[in-house]
Structure 1
Amino acid sequence: MKTVSAFANYLDGRIIFGIKDDRTVLGVENVQQLMLQVEHAINDEISPRPSYTLSTCTREGCQLVVLSVCKGLNPPYYYQNRAYMRSDTSTAPVDAAQLRQLVLQGRALAYEELPASKQDLSFKQLEAEFQKVLGIEALNNDLLKTLGLVNRQGYTYAGQLLSDSPGPYHASLDIARFGESSSIFLHRESLEDCSVLYQYHRVLELLDAWYAQYEQVSGFYREKRIQIPREACREALVNALVHRDYSLRVGIRVAAYPDRLEITSPGGLPSGLSLAEYLSGRISVPRNAILAQVFHRLSIMERFATGVRRIQESYMDFLQKPSFLVTENTVTVVLPKVSYTEVHERKVYVSNRKAVQQRVLSLFFTTETITRSDVEHQLGISITSAKRVLAGMVQSYLVKKEGDGPATRYRRM
């Protein structure tokens, strides 16, 4: 009956009577009697009554009884006052947080729709954001209702999260900057009792300082370069704030290392979203639709279901790639620092071919002929990129190639 509870709570499943755990087929002697016993047990011991069917089948000449249980519409489904879930090949009781989620599913509610635990709330920061982005005069009660931050019972939990002072232990965020090892703290800050909007702006402010753009001399020019794509940082942070499980009293963790940034949010993937669908970035199952809508109206979220794809696209021109670590209770996005290797040079130099060719032609101001090595060192590019640039200039009749092998030189035409 524990397994029946688990299937009814989470996922359709089948229980086959007449087969041992090692898959040895024994069969059922009295099929009708067993089916009656199973039916009575479910009706008497599982509450509320789940949807199920009993059928028979034959295997290796033996009759079997198949109990098919459907995922129910009114969870939680209890067996002896406890709700269960499947964990690998076993069945285990759900914990307090999982039970809350089942209760909310049964009531067709998201956690953010529940009444706020604190009703004395102010929205100065939210009002300022709407005034800046949408040009409203004031954040009145009608707009709060439209946004889903208040209803007939008062403020919702989403409203509490967006308020100036939601109270301690609500939606905390810890951010730390580490040195060469995780035991060396260069900066540590806990963002509690503040709006999720303040968390968003404060974290970005710190990350912009820690992973600031820098300039590097390449050939005759200074070029701006990044350490971690800012768009990736922003999208990973927004995803953590909007899609985390707020029923868990655990904070978001932002860890800044010399070689990478890690953002971990509490709660696994939302129910109904597979890992493959999450990584494809084409399907959106927002855990907190009210928060997502507010962030969208404030132009913080551009479109639903684009965050993961935008993170991946921001690394398109680099060898380093982001990674996504998903467990039952957490989602972690790892953003590595980038290095300007041949992949990025192709974007910088080939896409801006005329400017690059002009820089090569400027080398002839002081000499009649140049080598591939001259282009490589003066422009600060790789051997492959230098060959590609010179080959294109030969085809365009900008330079003439003389000699072969190590003796190859190029003369302006």
Structure 2
Amino acid sequence: MSILTSIEELLSGKKVEGSRMEFKEDWNPTTIMRTVCAFANDFENQGSGYIIVGVKEENGKPVRPVLGFNPDALEKVEKEMVGYSNLVQPGYMPRLSLEEIDGKHVLVIWVPAGSNRPYKVPDDVKVKKHKTYNFRIRVNSNTVIPNEEQESELIQLTAKIPFDDRVNTHASVNDLDFGLMREHLYQTKSKLHSESATMKVEELAEAMNLCQGAEEHRFPKNVGLLMFSDNPKKFFPAVQIDVVEFPEGAGAKQFEEKTFDGPIQKQLTDALSYLKANVIKGKVIKYADRAEADRIQNFPYDALEEALANAVYHRNYELREPIEVRVLPTAIEIISYNGVDPSLKQTDFEKGRSIRTRRYRNRRIGEFLKELELTEGRGTGLPTIYGGMKNNGSPKPLFDTDEPDRRYFVCELPIHPDFLEEIEQDEVNEEGGSIGGVIGGSIELTPRQLDVLKLIEQNNKISITQIAKELNIKSSSAVDKHVEALKSKGVLERKEGTRGYWQINPPKK
């Protein structure tokens, strides 16, 4: 059965990270079965692994052209694989596919994450008696025997299957859309697309690892219903993306809302298309001393695309809360629930470096989105967002992890300063006041800090809780951070007395 992407894309490493691939020059069942066991255990919830036989490796990369695998040996290897797979405890059978590239054949062993982990395998499957069994896991790009702590953690993962990879007994395999599944295979250039033309829905779902169970009671997996059913909201209420535009700011009553539903990858592409057409604006800046002009956007599309794709990837689909994209005059906020992995801290996001969560909430959704090139590879999303903002000349993105509650996660993309100047000048001309003085000064403030100042200018006795409510910020601690930043910049101070009040200070010249 063919893999879900093309062999060319697989070897390129663009859609599947190196930690999920292993290259073998020839058929070596002892080392191959150890890696099969490690991929099946899926210790870090990365998703499927691939072992490619007939490819030489140098520094973790495949050497092209490939060495090749003799297709006449396929039947023999398939029979051996059945026997070796029965040695895995509990039993586990990977999927084999003969693929053609560089004018030769290679054998691809596709190892979806197992549903009955933890798995053990003999150290040497070819030994006939007195086999020694061990667990195996992947650490970066290596297959190893877990240490005592890792083994204990692996055992605790028993039956803890990520939500998207669980079987849904409230639905039928016939709830999966045959056309949507084939469309995905066409987009990923999978050989399975042509092979599936004569298949039934159940057969294609089995081939794509979207269902599980015996023939008489086979059920779809949640990832299948989320990505390959016409109406996922039938099974998962509030699975949608809401784009809410506040032309006068978050505190105003006027807003426009647009909802995107359907398969989650369609929600993502439709919402991005809408934002690109209706929100993203460009500007050309010309200079007197040189011919080259700069082209900037109010919000860089590549950063917005990655931020929203990550929200779709990492949200908790068990909660009845939509992803919300709030379009404000000075920023775009993307809010997803129920927050990031506890292993990640607020400081991790503020540094902007590549970070890796300890456990991925939706391993299968991540696989499919990467195959469609809708999100970056493992751990590269944050640098992509930071890089997109920097290359556009925009301020750094802001993140709120809602520590310590972890109820939600907010990614805020501030508007480019050149577009902010237009908004600020309009506000100064129309309203004047101390905020105009602050904006027109030399102090650099974030859009959120400006929102806080505007509320304080209207009511200098407003509380932190009231500010959070007016700006629809769910955590008062997040407002505290903005207030402390304003104090440190000398723009704001707190006057105490019988009734305390805020004082806004004009910038020093």
TM-score of the aligned structures, taking structure 2 as reference length: 0.43
Deviation at 1:131, TM superposition (A): 1.2
The equivalent of 1:311 in structure 2 is: 385
Deviation at 1:154, TM superposition (A): 1.5
The equivalent of 2:221 in structure 1 is: 156
Alpha-carbon separation, structure 2, partners of 1:274 and 1:144: 38
Question: Aligned partner of 2:411: which letter?
Answer: V
Q: How does 1:314-329 map to 2 (within 5 A)?
A: 314-317=388-391, 318=393, 320-327=395-402, 328-329=406-407
Question: Aligned partner of 1:240: which letter?
Answer: A
Asked whether 1:269 is paired with 2:340, we answer yes
Q: How does 1:93-242 map to 2 (within 5 A)?
A: 107-116=159-168, 117-119=170-172, 120-134=175-189, 136-137=193-194, 138=196, 141=202, 144-145=205-206, 147-152=208-213, 153-162=218-227, 163-168=229-234, 169-182=237-250, 183-192=252-261, 194-216=262-284, 218-219=286-287, 224-242=295-313
The equivalent of 1:330 in structure 2 is: 408
Deviation at 1:142, TM superposition (A): 5.5
The equivalent of 1:411 in structure 2 is: none
Deviation at 1:255, TM superposition (A): 0.8
Question: Aligned partner of 1:155: which letter?
Answer: P
Q: Is the 8 A contact 1:178 1:257 kept in 2?
A: yes
Deviation at 1:134, TM superposition (A): 1.5
Q: Deviations over 1:173-212 (max 9, x none)?
A: 22111111233545312234x1101110111011102333
Q: Is the 8 A contact 2:306 2:376 kept in 1?
A: no
Q: Is the 8 A contact 1:121 1:165 kept in 2?
A: no
Q: Deviations over 1:223-281 (max 9, x none)?
A: 53211111111111111001111111111111111211111111122254444455532
Unaligned runs of 5+ in 2: 1-151, 420-509
Q: Is the 8 A contact 2:346 2:399 kept in 1?
A: no
Asked whether 1:251 is paired with 2:325, we answer no
Deviation at 1:133, TM superposition (A): 3.5
Rate the CA distance shift 1:258–1:277 in 2: closer, same or farther, 3 A: closer
Q: Deviations over 1:276-324 (max 9, x none)?
A: 4555323144210000001111121231111111101112242511011
Question: Aligned partner of 1:122: which letter?
Answer: D
Alpha-carbon separation, structure 1, partners of 2:400 and 2:270: 25
Question: Aligned partner of 1:149: which letter?
Answer: L
Alpha-carbon separation, structure 1, partners of 2:271 and 2:249: 21
Q: How does 1:53-72 map to 2 (within 5 A)?
A: none
Rate the CA distance shift 1:202–1:334 in 2: closer, same or farther, 3 A: same
Between the two proteins, the alignment pairs up a number of residues equal to 241
Unaligned runs of 5+ in 1: 1-70, 76-104, 342-413
Greater RCO, CA 8 A, separation 6+: 2
Alpha-carbon separation, structure 1, partners of 2:388 and 2:153: 41
TM-score of the aligned structures, taking structure 1 as reference length: 0.52
Asked whether 1:286 is paired with 2:360, we answer yes
Alpha-carbon separation, structure 2, partners of 1:295 and 1:131: 14
The equivalent of 2:50 in structure 1 is: none
Q: Is the 8 A contact 1:121 1:166 kept in 2?
A: no
Q: Deviations over 1:110-129 (max 9, x none)?
A: 11122233322315345324
Q: Is the 8 A contact 1:175 1:188 kept in 2?
A: yes
Alpha-carbon separation, structure 2, partners of 1:223 and 1:73: 52
SS class of match (2:224): helix
The equivalent of 1:297 in structure 2 is: 371
Instruction: Select the structure of larger CA radius of gyration.
Output: 1
The equivalent of 2:66 in structure 1 is: none
Q: Deviations over 1:40-94 (max 9, x none)?
A: xxxxxxxxxxxxxxxxxxxxxxxxxxxxxxx98888xxxxxxxxxxxxxxxxxxx
* Pairwise CA RMSD: 2.9
Deviation at 1:130, TM superposition (A): 3.0
Q: Is the 8 A contact 2:243 2:259 kept in 1?
A: yes
The equivalent of 1:339 in structure 2 is: 417
Q: Is the 8 A contact 1:236 1:307 kept in 2?
A: yes
